[in-house]
């Protein structure tokens, strides 16, 4: 042993600790609590709502401040959602080994993982997790499981000079390795940092609503000033209104106009729909880590799968035996292999098919080695060797010989995606070499166990026009065979080592191939990015750390609960019982959310549209605004808020069609204009006839309630017992508000004169007819979008 193998001295360790060259790794939080609070609380709309809320309390109009509850609920739900995502990301960790063995001062010692320093000599034994990146300096049949890092399910042989990555596990043999990267620079920790970068799932619903809020932001302040000025002028001018105290009425009316423009309930209702969808899925063993993911999977048109843990269960299954020669006793030899206590996974898989081991004791045996890829046992009738055909019978053989025919058959079986071993018998050699007279007795094929739900689930996605791509670290032909077993059209697998560097060319390769093998973690992420750049909405499923970056990059990441902590932490959805078959239920839930929120959004956006038009119209005409905030809260609750809650949760199986916002606005804007125009004409006519302002407001509230209920009935179609019941209940609620004295007094709903009742009836009737026409025209827009969506 040379001096370098003695490890670091105590002085060396102290110098490296002083220089900060330790394996200590401070996990950076994904997102600070303050940034989440700031993003959800310190917003322009919250500032606006809080200002209006505070002003109403100051002037003693608390009855008109009910809208503050909606803003509070939005803030709480949004903050809780993001804190949950933060907590999941902060739990992410790839290194789980509490201690590490190192050689220092020519003695083996155990230290905490954080105390490993640059240059330490790691002592590696079976079962150890490698704590830091290192270079192997000595190896004795050393095998490392890197499946969580690279996706390669087979253990990897390591020799002197090879890399040993942090986070991988020693499965066989022993060795020494010199640490050359520690802390944040190590592979596992750098992967962790990459995965913990915070991001929200892409949501068409959320982005569309945010766009509407941005538009309202740009216009709300000038409109607010316009309305406030008009209300002050309508009450005798700024000076007189201020002196007489009428400015309180003017301010209340201006606040009513401003708050009505903000679709506060739409944000709340979307969050509630997502949350209820998440609860429903939790009952089916699907954990939703970010609410908008419920919507996201319904939009997916390409789903990328890792093989191990997704299509297969990750264990080896004996497939079949293919006898090559009439040699007695070979089945009993396989039974002996299966019965050994130290049998590996391949040998154990033989137990169910070869149940009668040889009764005589073995006189000698050669343990399996990943270097030679075969093992042997000697009985009275000779030495039996089991291993890879090309290693047991190395070198070329004539095609017409027994070995040549065996090699040809083995190649054919391997091309079908089966792992192939040969059992051979020869004369005992007395050393670790294959007998020169060995003859092939039988070929044995093995496969991975396919998940029973995989084929049915993939069949569902095919029927829904969702393309499938399998990205695996395993041999591409093996993966292709498994893909064919689950019903995919995969004549061959593409070796990812041949992927083009050009992104456009990569996108073309991804369109033309279904199965990709030997894919590295970085390649998986790059392939997901390429699919997204090509216009696809991409889902990625997997369970290994090698899948974590691609799962995070995908529009929707889905992890198996049996997978690594890193993968589950960055996934949007986690299948708690590992059943791939739950994904169709997630898609169905997402479709219900999208279709129902689209219907609900038309209610809210119609209100925003008519509120904006009303504010501008009354601001320009210098007319008293025809509503109090509490009256708008009444009509909002009965025609939008309460029914929207139920409409957002009823069954709806309509397939996803892009263009949510355009379709919603195609109804909301013209319908809002109809409502605003009707109320403006109604108010102008009654004001000209000298009807008292309090009666004009009561009548305007009734007009708005009737038109709102008509819009509700139009949008609730197709009418069912549930939707008819919702509309009927809201009609009854509106009637009670006018009939019950306490509510009538609170909302200032006075009795209406015949003139006012006539105006209400004419306005409501004409508005309802025009809204029906608007819905008819908008139906054609939906039909056109549906046709485009199917062709796309």
In a domain, 337, yes or no: yes
DSSP 16-76: HHHTT-B----PPPSS-HHHHHHHHHS-HHHHHHHHHHHHHHHTT-GGG-TTHHHHHHHHH
Structure-model confidence comparison of residues 282 and 747, the more confident one: 747
**Mean pLDDT within 110-139:** 86
DSSP 738-764: HHSHHHHHHTT-PPPPHHHHHHHHHHH
Task: Give the C-alpha distances (Å, rounded to integers) separating 409 from 227, 322, 394, 401.
Answer: 86, 9, 16, 12
Q: How many CA atoms lie within 13 A of 343 on its CB side?
A: 18
| Structural domain span for residue 526 | 286-311+451-578
Q: What pTM value is reported for the model?
A: 0.61
In a domain, 59, yes or no: no
Q: Write out pLDDT tens, residues 62-79.
A: 666 666 666 676 677 667
DSSP 211-266: HHHHHHHHHHHHHHHHHHHHHHHHTT-HHHHHHHTTHHHHHHHHHHHHHHHS-HHH
Assigned token pair, 507: 């996108």
Check whether 37 has a pLDDT greater than 80. no
**Mean pLDDT within 420-434:** 88
Give pLDDT, residue 244: 82
Structure-model confidence comparison of residues 562 and 11, the more confident one: 11
Task: Give the C-alpha distances (Å, rounded to integers) separating 579 from 451, 474, 502, 574, 703.
Answer: 8, 22, 36, 10, 53
CA 71 – CA 47 distance, rounded (Å): 10
Residue 480 sits in the same domain as residue 434 = no
Q: Which of 286, 231, 285 is closest to 254 using CA atoms?
A: 231
Residue 331 sits in the same domain as residue 436 = yes
Check whether 93 has a pLDDT greater than 50. no
Residue 379 pairs in a beta bridge with 382
Q: Write out pLDDT tens, residues 536-591.
A: 989 998 776 667 778 888 888 888 776 655 567 677 888 877 787 888 888 878 77
The CATH number of residue 386's host domain is 3.40.1110.10
**Mean pLDDT within 379-392:** 90
Contact by Cβ (8 Å): 542, 307: no
**Mean pLDDT of the residues in the chain:** 81
**Mean pLDDT within 744-773:** 93
In a domain, 720, yes or no: yes
Check whether 26 has a pLDDT greater than 70. no
Residues that are catalytic: 306
CA angle 516, 521, 527 (to 5 degrees): 55
Residue 741 sits in the same domain as residue 621 = yes
The CATH number of residue 537's host domain is 3.40.50.1000
Contact by Cβ (8 Å): 680, 738: no
**Mean pLDDT within 231-242:** 81
Contact by Cβ (8 Å): 555, 540: no
**Mean pLDDT within 608-616:** 88
Q: How confident is the model at residue 500 (pLDDT cuts 50, 70, 90)?
A: very high
Give pLDDT, residue 190: 66
Task: Give the C-alpha distances (Å, rounded to integers) separating 685 from 347, 441, 665, 758.
Answer: 92, 103, 30, 11
Domain boundary among 159, 177, 195: 195
**Identity of the highest mean pLDDT range in 255-264, 269-278, 657-666:** 657-666
Contact by Cβ (8 Å): 572, 293: yes
**Mean pLDDT within 195-220:** 70
Check whether 3 has a pLDDT greater than 50. no
Structure-model confidence comparison of residues 58 and 181, the more confident one: 181
Give pLDDT, residue 404: 92
CA 683 – CA 691 distance, rounded (Å): 9
Q: What sign has the CA pseudo-torsion 323, 327, 331, 334?
A: negative
For residue 512, give the H/E element and its range: helix 503-512
In a domain, 758, yes or no: yes
> Quick one: the chain helix, strand, coil %, rounded to 5?
55, 15, 30
Please tell me the least confidently modeled range out of 257-261, 538-542, 785-789.
Answer: 785-789
Give pLDDT, residue 189: 65
Check whether 133 has a pLDDT greater than 50. yes
Residue 159 sits in the same domain as residue 209 = no
Q: Write out pLDDT tens, residues 309-333.
A: 677 776 778 989 999 998 899 999 9
Residue 443 sits in the same domain as residue 456 = no
Residue 351 sits in the same domain as residue 418 = yes
CA 445 – CA 294 distance, rounded (Å): 42
Contact by Cβ (8 Å): 451, 311: yes
Give pLDDT, residue 279: 73
Domain boundary among 426, 450, 474: 450
In a domain, 40, yes or no: no
Residue 352 sits in the same domain as residue 436 = yes
The CATH number of residue 117's host domain is 2.70.150.10
**Mean pLDDT within 42-68:** 71
In a domain, 82, yes or no: no
Torsion of CA 71, 73, 76, 81, to 10 degrees: -110
DSSP 158-189: E-TT-EE-TT-EEEEEEEEEEEEE-GGGSHHH
Give pLDDT, residue 88: 52
Per DSSP bridges, beta strands 515-517 and 382-387 are unpaired
The terminus-to-terminus CA distance of the chain in angstroms comes to 68
In a domain, 584, yes or no: no
Q: How confident is the model at residue 95 (pLDDT cuts 50, 70, 90)?
A: very low
Assigned token pair, 692: 């008292």
**Mean pLDDT within 642-660:** 76
Q: Which of 778, 538, 597 is closest to 212 using CA atoms?
A: 597
Task: Give the C-alpha distances (Å, rounded to integers) separating 346 from 182, 342, 386, 732.
Answer: 35, 11, 11, 71
Please tell me the least confidently modeled range out of 202-206, 660-664, 774-778.
Answer: 202-206
The CATH number of residue 604's host domain is 1.20.1110.10
Non-local (6+) Cβ contacts of 592 within 8 A are 277, 651, 652, 653
In a domain, 48, yes or no: no
Residue 650 sits in the same domain as residue 785 = yes
DSSP 307-345: TBTTTEEEEEEEEEEEE-S--TTHHHHHHHHHH-TT--H
Contact by Cβ (8 Å): 694, 629: no
129: which DSSP letter?
B
Residue 356 sits in the same domain as residue 446 = yes
- Residues of the chain with pLDDT > 90, as a percent, come to 22
Give pLDDT, residue 621: 81
CA 233 – CA 621 distance, rounded (Å): 10
Beta strands in 451-525 (DSSP E): 467-471, 493-495, 515-517
Contact by Cβ (8 Å): 303, 541: yes
Contact by Cβ (8 Å): 567, 542: yes
Check whether 188 has a pLDDT greater than 70. no
Task: Give how many domains the chain has, as a whole number.
Answer: 4
Give pLDDT, residue 764: 95
Residue 734 sits in the same domain as residue 595 = yes
Give pLDDT, residue 98: 64
Give pLDDT, residue 531: 94
**Identity of the highest mean pLDDT range in 46-60, 306-320, 444-458:** 444-458
Residue 319 sits in the same domain as residue 305 = no
Residue 465 sits in the same domain as residue 611 = no
Domain boundary among 413, 435, 450: 450
């Amino acid at each position: 042993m040379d001096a370098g193998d003695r490890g670091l001295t105590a002085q060396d360790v102290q110098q490296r600790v002083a220089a900060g060259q330790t394996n200590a790794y401070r996990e950076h939080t994904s997102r600070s609590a303050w940034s989440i609070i700031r993003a959800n609380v310190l917003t322009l709309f919250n500032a606006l709502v809080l200002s209006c809320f505070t002003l109403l309390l100051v002037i003693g109009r608390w009855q008109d401040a009910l809208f503050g509850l909606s803003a509070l609920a939005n803030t709480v739900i949004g903050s809780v959602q993001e804190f949950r995502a933060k907590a999941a990301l902060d739990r992410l960790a790839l290194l789980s080994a509490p201690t590490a063995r190192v050689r220092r001062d020519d003695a083996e010692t155990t230290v905490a993982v954080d105390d490993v320093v640059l240059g330490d000599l790691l002592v590696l034994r079976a079962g150890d997790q490698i704590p830091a990146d290192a270079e192997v300096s000595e190896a004795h049949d050393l095998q490392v499981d890197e499946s969580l890092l690279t996706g390669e399910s087979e253990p990897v042989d390591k020799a002197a000079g090879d890399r040993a990555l942090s986070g991988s596990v020693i499965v066989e043999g022993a060795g020494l390795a010199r640490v050359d990267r520690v802390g944040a620079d190590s592979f596992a920790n750098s992967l962790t940092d990459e995965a913990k970068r915070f991001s929200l799932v892409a949501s068409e619903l959320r982005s569309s609503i945010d766009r509407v809020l941005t538009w309202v932001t740009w216009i709300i302040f000038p409109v607010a000033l316009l309305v406030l000025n008009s209300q002050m002028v309508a009450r005798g001018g700024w000076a007189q209104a201020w002196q007489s105290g009428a400015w309180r009425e003017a301010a209340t009316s201006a606040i009513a106009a401003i708050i009505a423009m903000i679709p506060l309930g739409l944000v709340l209702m979307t969050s509630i729909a997502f949350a209820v969808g998440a609860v429903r899925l939790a009952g089916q063993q699907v954990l939703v880590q970010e609410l908008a993911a419920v919507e996201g999977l319904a939009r997916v048109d390409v789903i990328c799968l890792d093989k191990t843990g997704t299509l297969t269960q990750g264990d080896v299954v004996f497939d079949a035996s293919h006898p090559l020669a009439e040699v007695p006793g070979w089945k009993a030899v396989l039974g002996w292999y299966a019965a050994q206590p130290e049998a590996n996974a391949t040998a154990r898989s033989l137990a169910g098919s070869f149940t009668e081991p040889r009764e005589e004791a073995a006189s000698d045996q050669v343990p399996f080695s990943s270097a030679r890829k075969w093992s042997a046992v000697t009985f009275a009738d000779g030495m039996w060797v089991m291993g890879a055909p090309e290693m047991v019978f190395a070198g070329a053989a004539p095609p017409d010989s027994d070995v040549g025919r065996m090699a040809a058959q083995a190649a054919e079986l391997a091309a079908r995606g089966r792992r192939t071993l040969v059992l051979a018998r020869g004369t005992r050699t007395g050393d670790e070499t294959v007998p020169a007279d060995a003859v092939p007795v039988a070929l044995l094929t093995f496969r991975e166990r396919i998940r029973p739900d995989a084929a049915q689930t993939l069949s569902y996605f095919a029927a829904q026009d969702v393309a499938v791509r399998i990205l695996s670290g395993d041999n591409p032909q093996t993966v292709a065979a498994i893909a064919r077993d689950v019903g995919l059209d995969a004549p061959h697998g593409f070796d990812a080592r041949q992927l083009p560097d050009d992104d456009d060319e990569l996108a073309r390769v991804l369109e033309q191939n279904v199965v990709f093998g030997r894919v590295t973690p970085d390649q998986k992420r790059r392939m997901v990015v390429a699919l997204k750049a090509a216009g696809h909405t991409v889902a990625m499923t997997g369970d290994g750390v090698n899948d974590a970056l691609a799962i995070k990059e995908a529009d929707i990441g889905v992890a198996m609960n049996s997978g690594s902590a890193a993968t589950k932490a960055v996934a949007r959805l986690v299948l708690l019982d590992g059943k791939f078959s739950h994904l169709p239920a997630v898609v169905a839930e997402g479709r219900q959310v999208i279709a129902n929120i689209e219907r609900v959004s038309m209610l809210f956006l119609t209100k925003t549209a008519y509120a904006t038009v009303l504010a501008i119209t009354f601001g320009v005409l210098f007319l008293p605004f025809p509503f109090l905030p509490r009256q708008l809260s009444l009509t909002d609750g009965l025609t939008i808020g309460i029914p929207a809650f139920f409409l957002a949760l009823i069954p709806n199986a309509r397939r996803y069609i892009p263009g949510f916002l355009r379709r919603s606005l195609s109804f909301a804007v013209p319908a809002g204009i109809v409502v605003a125009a009707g109320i403006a004409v109604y108010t102008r006519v009654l004001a000209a006839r000298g009807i008292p302002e309090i009666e004009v407001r009561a009548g305007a509230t009734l007009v708005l309630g009737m038109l709102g209920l008509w819009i509700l009935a139009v949008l609730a179609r197709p009418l069912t017992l549930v939707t008819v019941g919702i509309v009927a209940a809201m009609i009854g609620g509106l009637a009670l508000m006018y009939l019950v004295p306490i509510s009538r007094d609170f909302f200032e709903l006075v009795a209406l004169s015949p003139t006012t009742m006539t105006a209400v009836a004419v306005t409501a009737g004409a508005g309802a007819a025009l809204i029906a026409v608007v819905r008819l025209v908008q139906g054609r827009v939906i039909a056109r979008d549906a046709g485009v969506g199917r062709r796309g």
